[in-house]
């Protein structure tokens, strides 16, 4: 009898140990789930009634919300979701918000994005993440956003566009992810003096001739989905990032450089798609053009690709998609005329799903000519 009592007592003591944890630990555990699930914890016990109100990680995910709220109409779900977000913000009072995130794949109201950003700045958020669509008009950042001293990480990925100012003035910002930004010259990056990680995705520069990335402390740069249909033909990139060690590029047209300073670069990853290249932009260049010494500015795709790659001459590791190798293999005369500058290169990695892929001998010799100890990986 006494043994059973002890067992029951032991079970009772172990039933709800998590509720005895301090709020700081509970908040850390809850930081891995969506805001609606965090709010639902209020029904667990009296201990949990107000935990969600001081929770500093606010992750508003429409997909999670709609899966938990039964509704036959999408419009009703959107109204309910917007109301839920506003209610959470109102009921939190003045508790600090470390991270505020909105993930809404479909069209959202401009006012919702604006109110979230305003709330984040007012409550000294360190991280803002907005991933949504606003197709009526480009999102315009509220004035209170500029010169926010607490913000360390910012993601603005908006299908429909973001209208960016000439300066952000974010002194503490270290990580920036921009998606959907339209026709800005890039000078905003110099207004973030501590920027270390930059990702640019799906941007439209169809009226911009010079795109500037001037970031003295930048260490990692990703330029993704760089598409000729969204980039002005004459658009050139000026990149001044003396501390940059990692560069990743994904697009269907090469970057055209105007001025580059990449003395610390170690790792480069370049993927070039050829599925929708421009009809007026030759994918290959006739060897005769090099032999006859024609104006190289008319060299076409291959020469622009070589010029782009040559700016990564200090890289120790170079990853290329196989279609880049295919382009290079078609123009041996171009490789002879523009020798490999990769004297520091140790690893050449080829990105392919084809197990039988090979590296043509003259392309391999091109890289080996400047780096005899080069290792090739598939």
The percentage of residues in the chain with a pLDDT greater than 90, rounded to a whole number, is 48
Contact 310, 367 (CB under 8 A): no
In whole angstroms, what is the distance from residue 253 CA to residue 229 CA? 9
Closest CA to 320 of 355, 290, 347, 294: 347
Q: What local confidence, expressed as pLDDT, does residue 60 receive?
A: 94
Give the neighbor-by-neighbor strand order of the sheet with 210-214.
210-214, 236-240, 257-261
Provide the 10 A C-beta neighbour count for residue 29: 11
Confidence of residue 13 (pLDDT cuts 50, 70, 90): low
Residue 276, pLDDT above cutoff 60: no
In whole angstroms, what is the distance from residue 219 CA to residue 216 CA? 9
Strand 246-251, strand 153-163: pairing: unpaired
Residue 290, pLDDT above cutoff 90: no
Strand 246-251, strand 220-226: pairing: parallel
Q: What local confidence, expressed as pLDDT, does residue 87 receive?
A: 92
- List, for residues 53-64, the tens digit of each pLDDT value: 999 999 999 888
pTM of the model: 0.85
What does the buried/exposed string (b/e) look like for 61-86 if buried means 16 or more CB atoms within 10 Å of the residue's CB? bbebbbeeeeeeeeeebbeebbebbe
Residue 173, pLDDT above cutoff 90: yes
**Residues sharing a CB contact under 8 Å with residue 343, sequence separation 6 or more, in sequence order:** 313, 370, 371
Mean pLDDT, the chain, rounded, equals 84
Confidence of residue 144 (pLDDT cuts 50, 70, 90): confident
Residue 188, pLDDT above cutoff 60: yes
Contact 317, 341 (CB under 8 A): no
The runs of H, that is alpha helices, within the chain are 2-14, 23-30, 35-40, 62-68, 74-91, 110-122, 287-291, 301-310, 322-330, 332-337, 361-368
CA distances (Å), 4 to each of 11, 229, 318, in order?
Answer: 11, 75, 67
Least confident segment among 45-54, 68-77, 93-102, 362-371: 68-77
The H or E element that residue 107 is part of is strand 99-107
In whole angstroms, what is the distance from residue 179 CA to residue 156 CA? 6
């Amino acid at each position: 009898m006494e043994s059973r009592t002890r067992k029951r007592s032991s079970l009772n003591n172990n039933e709800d140990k998590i509720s005895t944890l301090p709020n700081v630990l509970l908040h850390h555990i809850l930081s891995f789930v969506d805001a609606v699930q965090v709010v639902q914890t209020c029904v667990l016990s009296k201990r949990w009634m107000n935990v969600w109100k001081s929770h500093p990680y606010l992750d508003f995910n429409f997909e999670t919300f709609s899966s938990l709220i039964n509704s036959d109409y999408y419009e009703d779900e959107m109204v309910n979701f917007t109301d839920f977000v506003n209610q959470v913000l109102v009921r939190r009072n003045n508790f600090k918000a470390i991270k505020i995130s909105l993930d809404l794949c479909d069209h959202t109201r401009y006012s919702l994005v604006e109110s979230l950003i305003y709330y984040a700045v007012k409550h000294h958020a360190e991280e803002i993440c907005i991933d949504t669509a606003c197709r009526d008009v480009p999102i315009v950042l509220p004035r209170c956003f500029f010169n926010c001293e607490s913000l360390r990480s910012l993601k603005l990925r908006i299908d429909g566009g973001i209208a960016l100012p000439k300066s952000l003035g974010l002194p503490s910002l270290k990580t920036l992810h921009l998606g959907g930004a339209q026709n800005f010259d890039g000078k905003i990056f110099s207004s973030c003096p501590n920027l270390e990680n930059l990702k640019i995705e799906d941007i439209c520069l169809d009226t911009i001739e010079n795109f500037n990335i001037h970031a003295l402390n930048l260490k990692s740069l990703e330029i993704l989905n760089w598409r000729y249909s969204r980039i002005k033909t004459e658009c050139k990139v000026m990149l001044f990032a003396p501390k940059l060690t990692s560069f990743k590029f994904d697009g269907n047209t090469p970057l055209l450089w105007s001025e580059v300073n990449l003395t610390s670069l170690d790792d480069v990853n370049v993927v070039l798609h050829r599925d929708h290249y421009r009809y007026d932009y030759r994918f290959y260049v006739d060897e005769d053009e090099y032999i006859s010494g024609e104006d190289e500015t008319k060299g076409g795709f291959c020469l622009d690709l070589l010029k782009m790659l040559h700016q990564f001459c200090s890289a120790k590791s170079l990853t290329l998609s196989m279609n880049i190798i295919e382009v290079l293999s078609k123009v041996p005369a171009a490789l002879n005329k523009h020798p490999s500058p990769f004297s520091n290169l140790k690893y050449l990695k080829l990105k392919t799903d084809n197990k039988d892929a090979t590296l043509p001998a003259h392309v391999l010799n091109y890289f080996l000519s400047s780096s005899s100890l080069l290792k090739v990986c598939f």
